Structures are given as structure tokens and as C-alpha cells.
Amino acid sequence: MDRRKSSAGALCAVLVIVAMIAGIFIGILIGRTMGSGSSSENKAEQSSSIEGGESGGQTEGQPAETGAADTVTDTGSEAPESGSEDEQNAVVMSINGRELTMEEINYYLYQQRDYYVDLYDEEPWDMVMENGQTVSEYAKQQMYDDIVRIQILVGQAANYGVEMTDEMRAQLADSAQEYVDKLGPEICAQFGLNASAIAQVYQDGELSNAVYNTVLDQLRTQMREDSNYSSLSDEEFENAVNDAYNALFEEWKASADIQTTAIWDTIVVGSVG
């Protein structure tokens, strides 16, 4: 196909643009917002139900994080047998004490796989970028950055008075169930997907968006009262707000306790099961 025949430099440029658009999953999403199809539409409509967050916030509005891998320490635990019940329940990452199991990671993996296959109309995992990374390695790093960003923001929710309502939890649980029902039991079994883990990912994505929007709102309010920003154009002011947010986030990330287990090293984006 034409994309595959393009130069390595062009491929790298496309992937960089993709990462900026996706920033911040799969989350949800990925995301990149993490939901796809009807589930992602439901999540967008539901965002106004989170207390303390600004209605309509989206994950892709948040900046993608890179270079976070140097904060990771491996716990040294052995990885359980692939596809086993022990693996599904095993902890893969821990961020400020929030443990993410393989069940949750499987959803991120599936969204990454789905996204890149749709983008290239094929499975591009072994294609090598100009920097020497394969698409699979690049996608894994982006997934890692998304998860770290989401969990750091979720960890700030209480500090900014943002919380998830029971109604929102119920709506997201329904959306997760609809998602797995649409995929069917065969695909869910093949990729280790289940509704309860997906609902947790949805909750984290919505909560992180609400925190992100709340932080931006507070920064705007504070900076409008500062005479140093009074002469700025609207665009310059928003750039200054984003710079302030990025600096604040970097502080949070620098002090975060981020760990991965041996399972993380065995994960390959694009593999089945």
C-alpha cells in the first residue's frame, strides 16, 4: 500500500502528528480518548456529570507526556503465565500507590492495537521509524505516558475538589458493558477484556479530564488577576496558561512514585492475548 511505501522520515512525521492528536488515550484515550465507537460518544456526553469538572473536557486536549520511563523502577516480581487468571489479576504498574492490573492494561492495549490498525489498514508493528523504534515500541511508550498522565491527574482530584458521582459511575459501567457486548465474548476472551476493568478505565479517564479542566480554570482565574499577563492577546494568554499547567504537571510527575512489574517488560503492543 501507498503508506507502507513512503519514506521513513514521512512515517516518523505522521506518527508524531498522531501522538499529538492522540495525547493523552487510548485515554481513554485514550487518548488519545480511550473509548471507541458508541462508548466514546457516551463518555463525551457524560463528562458534565462529574462534580468540579468543566463540561466537555477531552483527553486529547491534555499534552502528551514523554520521557517518563526514567522514573520507573521494576519491582522484580516474576511474570505469571500469559493469559492465566493470575496474570489478569496481577499488578502491572503502580503510580502513587494506585495499582493497575493486567485487566485494565488489556483495554489500553486493545485500544492502541485498534487505533493503529485503523490508521494503517494493516498491522504495522514491525515498521521501523527514523529513530530506530518500531511502531509497536512507539505505541507502547505512548500508552505508558498516557497511563502515567491519567493517574497523576486522578491523584490530584481531591486537591481540586473533583469527584466522581454515583450516577456517573453507573453510566460508565453501562457504557463498559455495552462495549464488551458489542465486541462479543470471543474477542473479549482473546484480548482479556471485561466490563468491570473497562469501567474503571472509563472512570479514570473522565476524572482526569475533569481535573485537567479544573486546573486550567483555576490557572486562568489566577493569571487574569496578575498584571504581568494583562497585555497579552487571547492566544498568548492561553499559551501562558498551558505553560503554567505543564510546569505544574512536571512538578507532580517529578515527585510521583511510578513502578512497573516484570509483566510490563513482556507486553508487546499488537500481540494477541
Residue 207 has pLDDT above 70, yes or no: yes
Local confidence band at 273 (pLDDT 50, 70, 90 cut-offs): low
Tens of pLDDT, residue by residue over 101-156, are 999 999 999 999 999 999 887 889 999 989 999 999 999 999 999 999 999 999 99
List own/partner pairs for 246-254 with CB under 8 A and 24 or more apart: 246/63, 248/215, 248/219, 249/63, 249/65, 249/149, 249/152, 252/152, 252/155, 252/156, 253/65, 253/68, 253/71, 253/148, 253/152, 254/71
| E-strand stretches of 213-254 | none
Strand-pair partners of 171: none
Domain-by-domain residue ranges, the chain? 2-266
Q: What is the pTM of this model?
A: 0.74
pLDDT, tens digit (0-9, with 9 covering 90-100), for 27-84: 434 433 334 433 334 333 333 344 444 333 334 456 655 444 444 445 444 555 555 5
